[in-house]
Structure 1
C-alpha cells in the first residue's frame, strides 16, 4: 500500500531528484516496470522524447486504493521508515520519480489495470502529481505511463535536449543495460518523429526478445563473435557475496574483446557507475589483469578496457544505495571483502597462481562455476 513517509524519514532519504534529460524519464519508468514484475516493457519516443515518452508494461498494475497517491512526492509502498532502507530490494523506494516527471511535463498520463480490475482507467496528472481527470480505457493488465511535452516549463533544459542528436541511441543503450540484468524481460524501443503533423516511423526500431540467460542475451545483442571469446564464472564467499561475471577467456582474441569494450556492473541487478569507490577499483583490477594477458597473447596496442559484465549479489544490509539521487552509486560495508572476492575470481578464471587444475574452469559459457571460500570471520 502506498503511504506518505514521515518527516524524519523524508529528511534522511530525500534526494531532491531532478529530471534533466529524456533518459532520466525512461530509466525511472522502466525501473517501475521491473519492480511491477513485468515481462514485457515497451518504450516509445516521439520527437526524440520531447513530444512524448511512453513506457508500457504488462506488470501487476496499480491498485485502485493506491492511485490517488501514486505520483505524490514522498509517497511509496516500498518502505515506511528509514530503518526499512536496509531491507529494500526494489529499484524505487523514495517516492520521488513519478512526481519529478510530472513537475517537468505539460501533463502525465497513466493507464493502469490489475488482473482483478474489470477495465483499465486512464488518469491525467497535473504537475504536482495529483489526478486531474480519470476515465475508462480499454487495456490489458499492466501500466502505461506517457510523459507529454517534457521540459515544456523548463525552456533551458528543453533547448539542451533538442540539441542532443544521440537521445535515441542513449535510450537504446540504457535498455541494453537493463536487458543484460533481466534477460527474461522483452524490451523494445520505437522512435517516431513529427513531420507536417503526421507521425512517421524512424529507422532502427529495436527489440530485445526475452532470453533464457545473460549469455544468450549477449549473443543476441553483441553477436557470436564476442560471445565465443568470453566465459561465465561465479565466486561465492560463504553465501554473503556472490559474483557472477562474464569476462574474456584467457585465450580470447584481444581485438574482439577491446572492440566491444563495454562495462556492465550491477549490484543485485541494479546498474551502478564505475567511477567511484570499490567499483572503480574492481574495474581497474579486471582491466589490469586482462591487459597483461592480452599482451602475452600478442597484443601490442595501448591498454584498453575489455568487455566485462558483473553482477554483485549480496544482502541488502551489506551496502547502501541511497547515496545519489539516481541510485546508481553503491557504498559497501565491507569493500575489502568485495575486492578479495573479485581477486579470487580472477585467479580462478585466469590461473594467476599457475594452478593447473583451474585452467579448465568456466570455459563453458552455459555452465557457471563456483568457488566457495571458507571464511568464518564474516562481519555482518
Structure 2
C-alpha cells in the first residue's frame, strides 16, 4: 500500500538536498543580495559558521506584500512562467533557498527595508517557513538574513558539520572568492569571530569595475604579476579535426571568453588547482571538461605546476541549461566541442608566444670600451645590439636544416640514411631504436627476473620480468647498486648481448616443424590395488588438512609485471596485515638484491633496497625537524586572508618543517604573517612556494602533519643513499630485521620513488 508522504516530511527531505554545506548556505544568501542590486555585501560568521551566519546588503529590500511568501517553497519573484528559464539572468530563480534554510536552522531572522519604505521590519520564520513575528525595526535600505545553528535539525549532519568545520569553512571561502572575482561594482567582505574574541576580516574587495582589480584584492598584487589576459582565437583546422568539427557545423561568434590565466613559465604557476575559477554568463560553475583541458594544455609547457584560472564564458542564454542541480554549478552547454576547440587554440597560441623564447644578449668582446660609473669600470659594447627572441620551433628548424658548422658530414650521412619513402623511414627508425635498446639494456647476469605464480619450477622459473619498473631511471639504478655489482654489470655487457642474440636464433629454429622418427618400446609397470588405496587415503587426509588451514580460493593472482604493480599492491593490502611480517620465515637471499621469504605455503620476494629505503624515508618524515636559516629582515608573505587563517591555526606544523613565522593579528589582511626563517639543508633550499603548498594541503587536512613535496623529495634522496644497496650480501639476522621493519611502517608496499618493495612469488601447494 502506497501512502502520500506528509508535507512536513517532504519539506525536510527536499531541504536537506538543496543546502548541503556551509558553502551552499552562504552562496544562496550572497546570490540573493547581488540579485537585489546590492553594491555592498557583508558576510559575518561566528565560530566559522557553527553558531551564526549573517549576510547583510544595501540592495532594494523586500516589499511588505512579499513578507509572507518570502520563505515559502517555490515562491520566487524572478520567474513568471517556465519559458522564462531560457532567458534567466539572475543567480537564483527556484525559490528554494530561504525555505530550505528555515527547515535546517535553529532560527531564521530577516531584517529588511524596501527602497520605497520609511522604516524597516524584523521578520522571524519557523521551520516550515511561516512568518511568526513581524515588528518594525530601524534599518537603511537593504536586507539582513541571520541563520542560527545551521543543520541543527539534522543531528547526524550537524555532528559531521561540527567535526569538519575547518574544511567546510575553507570550501565556503573558495566559493565566496569566485563571487568576489566576478562581481564587478560590488564590495564583498567576510569576517569571522571565534568565541568571545575580536572579529577578523578574511576577505574583502573594493567595489571595482575590473575583474583584474578584484583578483588583486582577493589574492594580492603578487598574483597579478604572473597573469596574462586571455586572448581568444578561432580554432585551426587540425584542432577542428580533433574535435570532429566541420566548417558548416561551426557557428560564428557563439562564445566570447575573457579573463586571466597564469603564465606558463616554470616557477610561476601553482602547486595545486586551488585557484581555478570558471564562469558562464558570470555564473560560477564547474565545467569539468573545460577545466581538464586548461590544465592539460598548461602541462604541455609547465609539467610540474597548475595555472591560476579566472575565465568568464559569455554565450546566448538559450544555448545553456543552468537548471541541472539545486546549486546550479553543473551546467549543460550546446556546442561544447566548439568551446573546447577555442580554448585549446587560444591557450596554445598564448603560451607559445610567452614561453618558447630564448633571449640572447649579443655582446661582441672585440668592440668594447671602458665606461666609468663612479669608481667602477665596466666593459660595454659601443653599440649595444637589442635583445633578440628566437622561437624554439625556429631553433629546432635551424638544427634540422643543418645550418651549424662542424657537423656537416654527420648530418649529410644521416640525411642520406633516412631518405626514401615513409615506410623506409619507419624501418630505419625501428632499427636505430633497436640498436639503442641493445646498448642501454641492462645485462642479463645482473638483472634479477621473476616467474608468474602458475609456472612450474624449472629453467623458466628464473626468466621472469624484473621487479624494477621499466620507467625507473638508469641513474637511480646505478645509485642503488654496490660498486661490485656495477663492475660485474659492465664486464658482462658484451657477453650478455651475444647470448641474447644466440638465444633468439635458437628459439627461432626450434619453432619450425620438422619430421621426427620415434621408436616405440614396451615397459612393464608394477601395479598394486593395496598400494593405490593407501595412497588415496594419504591424499584425502592431506587435502582435509589443507582445507582446514588455508582458504579455498587463490589469495594471490597478480603477476610480477610492471604493468600490474597497482593490482599487485591492492592484492597485498587486501590479503596481508602488517603483523604477518613477523611470522615470515627467511629462506635466503637471491642475486644479492632480493630476500626470499615464506609465509605458510606462500613464497614472497622482497627488494632489499626498496624496503629499507621506505623504512628510512618514513622515519625521516616522522622524526626530522628541519632547522631554519634566519633571514636578515622579516619577509612579508602577502597571503590571502583565508591562507593566513589556515597558517595561524597550524603554526606547529610549519615550525616542524623549518618555517619560523611572525604573526601580527592587529595588522591589515595580507600583512599579518611574516617569514622570519626558512629551512635549509645542505644544498636544498625552500621558500614561500613551499609555504603555499603546505597551506593547500592543510586546508583539506587541518592539524595533520604533512610535508611539502620538495621536502619529501629531499627525504627520499637521503633515504635512498643510506639504505642497503643491491649487491650487498646479507646474513639471516639482517634480512629478518628488514622484513620486521615492513610491519612497523605505515605504507610498506612501495618505495618513495615508486619501486615495488615485495611481490608474491609462488604457492608451494599449487606447485607440489
TM superposition score category, shorter chain reference:
0.7 to 0.9
Match of 1:124?
124
TM-score, normalised via structure 1 length: 0.79
Whether the 8 Å CA contact 2:204–2:218 is kept in 1: the answer is no
Moved more, 258-267 or 54-63: 258-267
Q: Residue 37 in 1 paired to residue 37 in 2?
A: yes
Match of 1:172?
173
TM-score, normalised via structure 2 length: 0.40
Q: Secondary structure of the equivalent of 1:256? A: coil
Match of 2:297?
289
Whether the 8 Å CA contact 2:18–2:327 is kept in 1: the answer is no
Match of 1:332?
333
Match of 1:150?
150
In the aligned structure 1, how far is the partner of 2:321 from the partner of 2:165? Answer: 35
Match of 2:270?
258
Q: For each residue in 1:66-123, what CA deviation from the matched residue of structure 2 results, as whole angstroms up to 9, or x when unmatched?
A: 2211111011111122222111111111110100000011211111112210001010
Whether the 8 Å CA contact 1:240–1:314 is kept in 2: the answer is yes
Q: For each residue in 1:288-332, what CA deviation from the matched residue of structure 2 results, as whole angstroms up to 9, or x when unmatched?
A: 2222223xxxxxxx5442111111111111111111111101101
Give 5+ residue unaligned stretches, structure 2. 1-13, 234-250, 358-389, 391-768
Q: For each residue in 1:326-350, what CA deviation from the matched residue of structure 2 results, as whole angstroms up to 9, or x when unmatched?
A: 1101101211221222133224423
Q: For each residue in 1:15-72, what CA deviation from the matched residue of structure 2 results, as whole angstroms up to 9, or x when unmatched?
A: 9843232222101100111111111111111232222210001111112222211111
Q: Residues 16, 168 of structure 1: CA spacing in aligned structure 2 closer, same or farther, 3 A cutoff?
A: closer
Q: Residue 243 in 1 paired to residue 257 in 2?
A: yes
Whether the 8 Å CA contact 1:52–1:149 is kept in 2: the answer is yes
Whether the 8 Å CA contact 1:184–1:212 is kept in 2: the answer is yes
Q: Secondary structure of the equivalent of 1:143? A: strand
Match of 1:307?
308
Whether the 8 Å CA contact 1:120–1:137 is kept in 2: the answer is yes
Q: Residues 350, 205 of structure 1: CA spacing in aligned structure 2 closer, same or farther, 3 A cutoff?
A: closer
Match of 1:321?
322
Whether the 8 Å CA contact 1:61–1:114 is kept in 2: the answer is yes
Whether the 8 Å CA contact 1:37–1:60 is kept in 2: the answer is yes
Give 5+ residue unaligned stretches, structure 1. 1-13, 274-278, 295-301, 360-380
Q: Residues 347, 168 of structure 1: CA spacing in aligned structure 2 closer, same or farther, 3 A cutoff?
A: closer
Shift of 1:267: 0.8
Whether the 8 Å CA contact 2:272–2:305 is kept in 1: the answer is no
Whether the 8 Å CA contact 1:234–1:242 is kept in 2: the answer is no
Q: For each residue in 1:249-293, what CA deviation from the matched residue of structure 2 results, as whole angstroms up to 9, or x when unmatched?
A: 3xx5432312474210111111112xxxxx322222222222222
Larger helix percent:
2
Q: Secondary structure of the equivalent of 2:194? A: strand
Answer with 1 or 2: which has the greater Rg: 2
Length, aligned pairs only: 325
Match of 1:346?
347
Whether the 8 Å CA contact 1:15–1:324 is kept in 2: the answer is no
For CA contacts below 8 A with separation 6 or more, give which structure has more relative contact order: 1
Moved more, 97-106 or 39-48: 39-48
In the aligned structure 1, how far is the partner of 2:147 from the partner of 2:351? Answer: 48
Q: Residues 255, 35 of structure 1: CA spacing in aligned structure 2 closer, same or farther, 3 A cutoff?
A: same
Q: Residue 229 in 1 paired to residue 226 in 2?
A: yes
Q: For each residue in 1:4-23, what CA deviation from the matched residue of structure 2 results, as whole angstroms up to 9, or x when unmatched?
A: xxxxxxxxxx9984323222
Whether the 8 Å CA contact 1:185–1:210 is kept in 2: the answer is yes
The correspondence for 2:217, drawn from 210, 213, 220, is 220
Larger strand percent:
1
Q: For each residue in 1:180-223, what CA deviation from the matched residue of structure 2 results, as whole angstroms up to 9, or x when unmatched?
A: 111321111121233xxxx3325454322222311112222223
Whether the 8 Å CA contact 2:124–2:133 is kept in 1: the answer is yes
Match of 1:371?
none
Shift of 1:239: 4.2
Q: Residue 138 in 1 paired to residue 152 in 2?
A: no
Match of 2:603?
none
Moved more, 231-240 or 142-151: 231-240
Q: Secondary structure of the equivalent of 1:122? A: strand
Shift of 1:136: 0.9
Match of 1:270?
283
In the aligned structure 2, how far is the partner of 1:165 from the partner of 1:132? Answer: 31
Match of 1:375?
none
Match of 1:93?
93
In the aligned structure 2, how far is the partner of 1:126 from the partner of 1:56? Answer: 20
In the aligned structure 1, how far is the partner of 2:227 from the partner of 2:19? Answer: 37
